Amino acid sequence: MDCYALIGHPVEHSHSPFIHAEFARQTRQALSYRAMLAPLDGFPNAVRMFRAAGGRGANVTVPFKLEAYSLATCLTERAKLAGAVNTLTFTDEAIVGDNTDGIGLVRDLAINLSCPLAARHVLLLGAGGAARGVLFPLLQTRPASLMLANRSIGRARELHAAFAPHVGQTAFAAGGFQDIGGRKFDAVINATSASLANESIPLPDSVFAPDALAYDMMYGAGDTPFMAWARKTGAARIQDGLGMLVEQAAESFALWRGMRPDSAPVLSMLRGKQQASHR
Ligand code: NDP
């Protein structure tokens, strides 16, 4: 049986083993997928041992996405641009590093939420690993404008410089939260970790255009502080990042197995579990 794993620290609450088990059942693939806790100073060793024991591939999560980038002997174009790796594929000769987070977000927006970004005005909050991973796929959807706003303005400007060659016709700007001013956006995507710390982001109340989507990459039992704020401020649609999680997993599965699973029933099962735990 082909073996896959999620390697991270922590990993015990991850939905990924459930998601990949459902994908395998659905596509009748004989494979195993487990969560593997690696010591904080032991990621390369954990990967080597898993590969030596016959592992065929791995997802990588916090805090190892940059180490996975360095460990890969071969990188896809989107992983190079992201500067981080969340999917490793082991071949006889190589450790191939890819990043499926960005395509996961774009597919969740376009397919699950029927919210394509072409010709729309998009605000992306954050300039950490998640923001970096989704920037290129977001620009590829050809929004009319994309503004990147981050607490530390210098990090937003660094990303702006790195991605400026890939903007095409999109008006691309970067700055701090105070630079948002009175602009309105069709989609506001929270790629900061503020919600993890139960913190709010200082955004103007006027940021949402009519019918705008507020999207938090974080997911959990209830509203995040960003989602609660968006609800109060009048965003038409409010969504967490569970769909992104399932879609990035589907993309990894497709890379490994050469077939794309149907993500919709798996997302709906997870939504059911989420609602049950919220009650
Ligand atoms: P990083 O640590 O790399 O980056 C954190 C970012 O959040 C930085 O831009 C930081 O700003 C900003 N930030 C942190 N605290 C605050 C605050 N209180 N107010 C405003 N900004 C803040 O984290 P990641 O980029 O890896 O992850 C970000 C989020 O995305 C997490 O919640 C993670 O769970 C989620 N995620 C979800 C995925 C999914 O599949 N749904 C996939 C990947 C990530 P500064 O630069 O100023 O420090």
72 lines ligand 1 (CB under 6 A): no
User: Quick one: pLDDT band at residue 189, thresholds 50, 70, 90?
Assistant: very high
What is the model's pLDDT at position 129? 85
Q: Is the per-residue pLDDT at 278 higher than 90? A: no
| Catalytic residue list contains 65 | yes
To the nearest 10°, the Cα dihedral for 138, 105, 247, 49?
90
pTM metric for this prediction: 0.96
Domain range annotation of the chain: 2-99, 102-242
Residue 196 has pLDDT above 90, yes or no: no
Average pLDDT of every residue of the chain? 96
Model confidence at 263: pLDDT above 90:
yes
Rounded to the nearest whole angstrom, what is the distance from the C-alpha of residue 263 to the centroid of ligand 1?
Answer: 25
Q: Please identify which of the residues 65, 184, 232, 273 carries the catalytic annotation.
A: 65
Average pLDDT over residues 120-136: 94
What tokens does 243 get? 């769909």
Rounded average pLDDT over 101-119: 97
Q: Is 217 in the pocket of ligand 1 (CB under 6 A)?
A: yes
The model's confidence at residue 221, banded by pLDDT at 50, 70 and 90, is: confident
Q: What is the CATH number of domain 102-242?
A: 3.40.50.720
pLDDT grade for 242, boundaries at 50, 70 and 90: very high
Q: Let me know if domain 2-99 sits in CATH 3.40.50.10860.
A: yes
Tell me the per-residue pLDDT of 88-107, one tens digit each, with 9 for 90 and over.
999 999 999 999 999 999 99
Instruction: Output the CA 197–ligand 1 centroid distance in Å.
Output: 10
CA-closest residue to ligand 1 atom 3: 128
Res 279 pLDDT > 80: no
pLDDT average, residue stretch 123-145 = 95
Same topology between domain 2-99 and domain 102-242: yes
pLDDT at 235: 97
pLDDT the model gives residue 126:
97
Reading the block at residue 141, the tokens are 């959807």
From the alpha carbon of 62, which atom of ligand 1 is closest? 26
Residue 60 above 90 pLDDT? yes
